[in-house]
Structure 1
Amino acid sequence: MYQPIIPIGGLAGWRFLQQTYDTQFETFSKSTELKRDTDYFRENIGAVTTAEELVSDRRLLSVTLGAFGLQDDLDNRYFIRKMLEEGTTNDDALANRFTDTRYKEMSEAFGFGPGEFLKVGEEGFVDAIVSRFETASFEVAAGEQDESMRIALYAQHEVADLAQSDSSNDAKWFTLMGDPPMRALFEKALNLPESIGQIDVDQQLGIFKDRAQSVFGTDQLSDFSDPELVQDLITKYVVRNQIASFSASMSGQSIALTLLQS
């Protein structure tokens, strides 16, 4: 399968990836392996009527999970089946009890839950899932070379989508905090420690909003519908991540030098 070209890390690598994205993504989408997966999904998903049928077909499940960035759960079939079967209409549904909002999004997309309408046969359903899968697969491939590039690519579309949603500002922040890639990006861009996740969630909300106000001049996530603000966010993330990686590398070299000299 075609592997994205990222000749250098950090901000220069991100700018190169942005400039060549359309060409690289088109080439990646034509990869034989990827096309084999998407063709199989198109040809077979229409026959699926239950969550059990979906998780029983590993190839269909692979595309489904990959579309929502949940490919690491491919072997957790019982867990995914429960997630899909319970749907999202009940407050105590499994998808609603998870902080990672991608599970809820996946469950809503299929409509297997009680009182929900099955969406598999709806017009545009297959194209939407396939498009998400292709995009997410490219991001994963980029991340195999540089994880920060995967997160930046993901955030480029997800932050804007979240900004334009109808939810309240606090609800948007909670969604962001429950989405691992977006959370990682904001934590780094706002220079927050990962340990912030260990404190009360309402306190986390206050810290995220205060720091966003300080760094970006706003704590309103709807403002991130502005592409320039999103790029500013991603630039800060990439630069801070590069600095952190460089510092860690230098620290490791210093330790090695000390050991050699002792």
Structure 2
Amino acid sequence: MSFTITLPLSGYAGWSFLKRTQARQEAALVADAAQQRAETYFRARIAKVETADQLVKDRRLLQVALGAFGLSEEIGKSYFIRKVLADGTDDKTDLANRLPDKRYAELAKTFQFDKSKPATQAQGFADTIISSYRSQRFQEAVGAVDENMRLALFAQDQLPELAGKTASDAAKWYTILGSSALSKVFQGALGLPSSFGALDIDMQVSMLERKSRQVLGVGSPSQLGEPEKIDKLIKLFLLKKDIR
């Protein structure tokens, strides 16, 4: 990664600096030569890709595709990725649906290689993937300097989308627990013990809901899309990380 982030401070002070400079630093990422080459190549070729096999065989396309879902490190697992993409997500037995990391299901659902006409043929598909790729690369650059800041960015990006989903509160709490990044943010912000992850999953949900209500004033994940709630969550997470 040739692009590097400027982040002179850590903790909540660093977060405040990042938010003030984020637009400028994101623009620098977009202008980065390596980023531009990756985007240009993807735009020019992705519409011609009709199968999972074709995508996996083109490493440059696959790098952007996986990177858009935070899965860049999986690029060497070609057979596994091909299987995830080819299966799709319609059947509960499909590989992506059986994996605890739901990023794979999102990848398969987005590309739709199990359909007669994959999503790569849709107008605006390249723009959608590239937008996610930029966001993920920015988060990775931040994480290279400060991992806690990367987790905070991830929470800021994902929580509004999660809050807006038409799913039960329990299902949304399970989603938070199933995401390593979100789980770390909530566990840190709410002051949950290190033994929290060893509890029965339903007990974890119950404790998350109770502590969230006490600390954030939110008992439902559907309320977590409100900017002030996200800001409070991130502030608590980073301040408590500063203390440790």
TM-score above 0.5: yes
Is contact 1:87-1:112 (8 Å) kept? Answer: yes
- Aligned-partner SS, 2:89: coil
Q: How does 1:37-48 map to 2 (within 5 A)?
A: 37-48=38-49
Is contact 1:102-1:179 (8 Å) kept? Answer: no
Distance 1:161 1:7 in 2: 30
Q: How does 1:93-104 map to 2 (within 5 A)?
A: 93-104=94-105
Is contact 2:218-2:224 (8 Å) kept? Answer: no
1:127 aligns with 2:94: no
Match in the other structure for 1:91: 92
Letter in 2 for 1:51: A
Given the superposition, is the C-alpha separation of residues 125 and 194 from structure 1 closer, same or farther in structure 2, using an over 3 Å criterion? Answer: farther
Match in the other structure for 2:158: 158
Is contact 1:87-1:116 (8 Å) kept? Answer: no
CA deviation vs aligned residue, 1:40-84 (integer Å, no higher than 9, x gap):
111111111111111111111111111001111111111111111
- Cα offset for 1:97? 1.2
Q: How does 1:211-226 map to 2 (within 5 A)?
A: 211-226=211-226
Give the alignment's TM-score, normalised by structure 1.
Answer: 0.89
- Cα offset for 1:200? 2.4
- Structure 2 residue runs of 5 or longer lacking an equivalent are none
Distance 1:41 1:131 in 2: 12
Match in the other structure for 2:35: 34
Give the alignment's TM-score, normalised by structure 2.
Answer: 0.95
Match in the other structure for 2:173: 173
Q: How does 1:1-262 map to 2 (within 5 A)?
A: 1-113=2-114, 117-244=117-244
- Cα offset for 1:130? 0.2
Q: Percent identity?
A: 37
Given the superposition, is the C-alpha separation of residues 74 and 195 from structure 1 closer, same or farther in structure 2, using an over 3 Å criterion? Answer: farther
Is contact 1:169-1:221 (8 Å) kept? Answer: yes
Distance 2:116 2:238 in 1: 41
- Aligned-partner SS, 2:145: coil
- Cα offset for 1:193? 3.3
- Structure 1 residue runs of 5 or longer lacking an equivalent are 245-262
Distance 2:138 2:32 in 1: 11
4+ long deviations beyond 3 Å: none
Moved more, 172-181 or 84-93: 172-181
- Cα offset for 1:117? 4.7
Is contact 2:50-2:117 (8 Å) kept? Answer: no
Is contact 2:151-2:185 (8 Å) kept? Answer: yes
- Cα offset for 1:203? 2.1
- Cα offset for 1:120? 0.7
Letter in 2 for 1:219: G
- CA RMSD between the two structures: 1.3
- Cα offset for 1:226? 1.0
Across the two proteins, how many residue pairs are aligned to each other? 243
